């Protein structure tokens, strides 16, 4: 059959797009193609599980608008459909006087973004919330939470499939080529071909490669950064009640190592951020010749390295040294010991890098013929997923002429 729309990518953004389109247009036949044998198997299933508030994002940006709207939608969705979640709040803590101006800036951004309930708190108030944290003050963010993002992804797809018996989920189908055929496109996969009138790509770590397969002239390139986590042992879990974040360094494109209570009862510490030699490699020594040559043959990667040289060296040292990782964590919780930490999991983040090493921090969606490409959807894309899905549905209605 010829589908009305093929969505490529079964992470939470692809799932949310499928869900939103199918809710609005139950008569549309939509196929969701995912190369792995289960949904949410890369960035979505390996992220920190945090429902972000929108505290850090430039007012008026796609990140800020979609994160805040998406958070409200995601919490309502979780409540309605029984997805494990907890809006438990978090503290952002300063441990050095040099961080106070940055903390003030974040707080003011939060006020501009109308983040509900945020307040500056003293070191004593931080201790009331997180008794083991030593700080000189912080920000209380009550609307931050935790959620099972994999469970949310699976539920979105389940609800979408229930709307139209002609719609389908095809897992284990890796897209190998796109062939234009007049008014339609043929998506060639390792398990057969699919014909669709319109295509929506939500391919995460493979976004640039699939865009090029679809004929997009893309100057930027996706480069992967692995984040490693430790977990607190059972004996140490009492030292973290909910979520504890440092004040992020504005010169570094990541939020820094933090503590997160997860919905499965574990408490994670991390992640760091190191260049990965395999886009979908979760082990410290995972290697792909293609991914490595693509990344190291691209000038933007080297610009990013040079612009963040000292950070990068520190991150790499910490990736292979539990002692250095612990030292970073002890800035917030000095009583932590080596025995309190056990190795955890890893995740890989996709960064769309420009040639000058800019991380292209905002969400980026582009159009090409009968296709929509989500080229950049870093954190907080999981939190923002339902809002992004709604935005893509709006754009699909306009660009594809869907009534």
CA distance 77 to 72: 9
pTM over 0.85: yes
Domains in the chain and their CATH numbers? Answer: 2-45+150-220+361-400 (3.50.50.60), 90-142 (no CATH), 221-359 (3.30.9)
Q: How confident is the model at residue 249 (pLDDT cuts 50, 70, 90)?
A: confident
Question: What is the b/e burial string over 143-174, where b = at least 16 CB atoms within 10 angstroms of the residue's CB?
Answer: bbbbbbbbbbbbbbbebbbebbeebbbbeebe
DSSP code, position 57: S
pLDDT at 169: 98
Q: Which residues contact 137 (CB under 8 A, 6 or more apart)?
A: 93, 94, 100, 103, 120, 121, 122, 123, 126
pLDDT of residue 253: 64
pLDDT cut 70: percent of the chain above it: 99
More confident residue, 360 or 287: 287
How far apart are the C-alpha atoms of 54 and 69, rounded to whole Å?
Answer: 9
Whether residue 309 has pLDDT greater than 90: no
pLDDT, position 208 = 97
Cα separation, 309 vs 218, whole angstroms: 27
What does the alpha-carbon distance between residue 275 and residue 313 come to, in Å, rounded to a whole number?
Answer: 10
Taking residues 291-306, report their average pLDDT.
Answer: 95
User: What distance in Å separates the CA atoms of residue 99 and residue 304, rounded to the nearest whole number?
Assistant: 24
> Which pLDDT does position 167 carry in this prediction?
98
Q: Distance (Å, rounded) from C-alpha 16 to C-alpha 398?
A: 18
Share of the chain above pLDDT 90, in %: 90
pLDDT in tens, 194-206: 999 999 999 999 9
Neighbour count for residue 179 (Cβ, 10 Å) = 12
Helix axes 299-307, 309-319, angle to 10 degrees: 90
Q: Between the CA of residue 336 and those of 128, 259, 305, 319, 340, what are the distances in Å? A: 18, 12, 31, 18, 6
Angle subtended at Cα 179 by Cα 173 and Cα 185, rounded to the nearest 5 degrees: 80
If pLDDT is split at 50, 70 and 90, which confidence band does 360 have?
A: low
Mean pLDDT, the chain, whole residue set? 95
Q: Which of 286-300, 303-317, 364-378 is the least confident region?
A: 303-317
Strand partners, 50: 146
Q: Which of the four pLDDT bands, split at 50, 70 and 90, describes residue 314?
A: confident
Radius of gyration of the chain (CA): 21
> What confidence tens digit (pLDDT) does each residue in 272-288 have?
889 999 999 999 899 99
> What pLDDT, in 10s, does the model give residues 92-137?
999 999 999 999 999 999 999 999 999 999 999 999 999 999 999 9
What is the pLDDT, as a whole number, of residue 261?
A: 97
Per-residue pLDDT tens digits for 34-89: 999 999 999 999 999 999 999 999 999 999 999 999 999 999 999 999 999 999 99
How wide is the angle at C-alpha 341 spanned by C-alphas 336 and 342, nearest 5°?
175
Residue 327 has pLDDT above 90, yes or no: yes
Q: What is the pLDDT of residue 383?
A: 98
pLDDT in tens, 54-66: 999 999 999 999 9
Q: What is the pLDDT of residue 362?
A: 87
Confidence (pLDDT) at 310: 81
């Amino acid at each position: 059959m010829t589908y009305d729309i093929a969505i490529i990518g079964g992470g939470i953004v692809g799932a949310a797009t499928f869900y939103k389109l199918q809710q609005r247009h139950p008569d549309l036949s939509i196929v969701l193609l995912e190369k792995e044998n289960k949904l949410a198997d890369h960035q979505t299933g390996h992220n920190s599980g945090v429902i972000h508030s929108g505290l850090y994002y430039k007012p008026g940006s796609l990140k800020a608008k979609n994160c805040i709207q998406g958070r409200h939608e995601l919490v309502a969705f979780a409540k309605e459909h029984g997805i494990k979640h907890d809006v438990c709040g978090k503290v952002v803590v300063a441990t050095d006087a040099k961080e106070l101006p940055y903390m003030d800036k974040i707080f003011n951004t939060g006020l501009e973004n109308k983040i509900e309930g945020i307040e500056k708190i003293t070191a004593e108030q931080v201790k009331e919330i997180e008794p083991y944290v030593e700080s000189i003050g912080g920000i209380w963010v009550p609307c931050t939470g935790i959620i099972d993002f994999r469970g949310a992804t699976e539920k979105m797809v389940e609800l979408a499939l229930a709307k139209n018996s002609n719609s389908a989920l095809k897992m284990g189908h890796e897209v190998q080529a796109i062939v234009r055929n007049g008014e339609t496109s043929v998506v060639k996969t390792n398990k057969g071909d699919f014909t669709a009138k319109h295509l929506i790509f939500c391919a995460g770590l493979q976004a640039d490669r699939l865009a090029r397969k679809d004929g997009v002239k893309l100057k930027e390139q996706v480069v992967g950064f692995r984040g490693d986590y430790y977990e607190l042992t059972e004996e140490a879990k009492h030292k973290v009640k909910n979520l504890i974040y440092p004040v992020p360094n504005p010169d570094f494109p990541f939020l820094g190592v933090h503590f997160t209570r997860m919905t499965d009862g574990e408490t994670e510490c991390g992640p760091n951020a190191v260049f990965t030699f395999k886009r979908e490699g979760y082990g410290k020594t995972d290697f792909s010749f293609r991914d490595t040559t693509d990344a190291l043959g691209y000038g933007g990667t080297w610009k990013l390295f040079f612009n963040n040289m000292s950070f990068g060296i520190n991150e790499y040292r910490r990736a292979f040294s539990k002692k250095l990782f612990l030292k970073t964590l002890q800035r917030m919780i000095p009583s932590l010991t080596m025995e309190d930490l056990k190795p955890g999991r890893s995740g890989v983040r996709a960064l769309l890098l420009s040639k000058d090493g800019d991380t292209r921090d905002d969400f980026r969606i582009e159009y090409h013929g009968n296709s929509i490409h989500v080229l950049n959807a870093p954190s907080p894309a999981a939190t923002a997923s339902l809002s992004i899905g709604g935005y893509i549905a709006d754009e699909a209605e306009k660009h594809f002429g869907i009534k």
